[in-house]
Amino acid sequence: MILAVHAIPEADRLAALHERIALLEWRDGRETAGSVAREVKRNEQAVLDSTAGRSLTDEISRILWDNSVIRAAAQPRRLSHLLISRTGEGGAYGQHVDNALMGTGERRVRTDLSFTLFLTPPGDYDGGELVIHTAGVTQTVKGETGLLVLYPSGSIHEVRPVTRGTRIVCVGWIESMIADNAQREMLFDLENLRATLRPKLPSQSPELLTLDKTIANLLRMWARP
């Protein structure tokens, strides 16, 4: 499942994030790539181990964790460290697959889902589209600021070359309580159905109670909290 979510719709909040990002230092993005991906990665990553960097990523993490659509779709167990990526003219990130495991020690996560949060208006740069290749389907996304794209980490994906301007995004990975993508999608469909029916039916209606029971029991069967 590939899902687009308006994770940060507030213009003032986005503007404040941009001001803080503008103060960050940057380094070669290949330092954070795996051995294979390093060969096709041409961008910069923000240095986030400062107090300002940690505060920024903590705020973005809270925004994503609190988003009800992301929680329903991802069933998150843990969120990885975040990266803020800057790709200028001539930069790109060729076709690659994200590492199955990232981080060390208690911060180590299994990458079930990857996400890209767009932070630059699409009119500010040419090229730079996120391209996701899944079985029989290729999807291309160039999102508005605040749009988050959630997609399976096991898919081949790429960022096409930027030919004008600068593209800034935040990227990260989610370890889900539900490792199986098909099971996550089924639960997401049921959650959406429940949200649609709640305003239309009494809370103790047989239909809603049955739906509540089904979602709870599927979580008991599949979840690894």
pLDDT at 135: 85
What is the DSSP code string of 105-156? GGG-EE-SEEEEEE-S-GGGEEE--EEEEETTEEEEE-PPTTEEEEEETTSE
| 3-176: CATH topology | Jelly Rolls (2.60.120)
What is the pLDDT confidence band of residue 6, given thresholds at 50, 70 and 90?
Answer: very high
pTM for this one?
A: 0.94
pLDDT tens, position by position, 12-21: 999 999 999 9
Q: Domain-by-domain residue ranges, the chain?
A: 3-176, 181-222
Q: Residue 34 pLDDT > 90, yes or no?
A: no
pLDDT at 136: 85
Residue written as tokens 């740069």?
125
What is the pLDDT confidence band of residue 144, given thresholds at 50, 70 and 90?
Answer: very high
Torsion, CA 102, CA 104, CA 106, CA 112, rounded to 10: 10
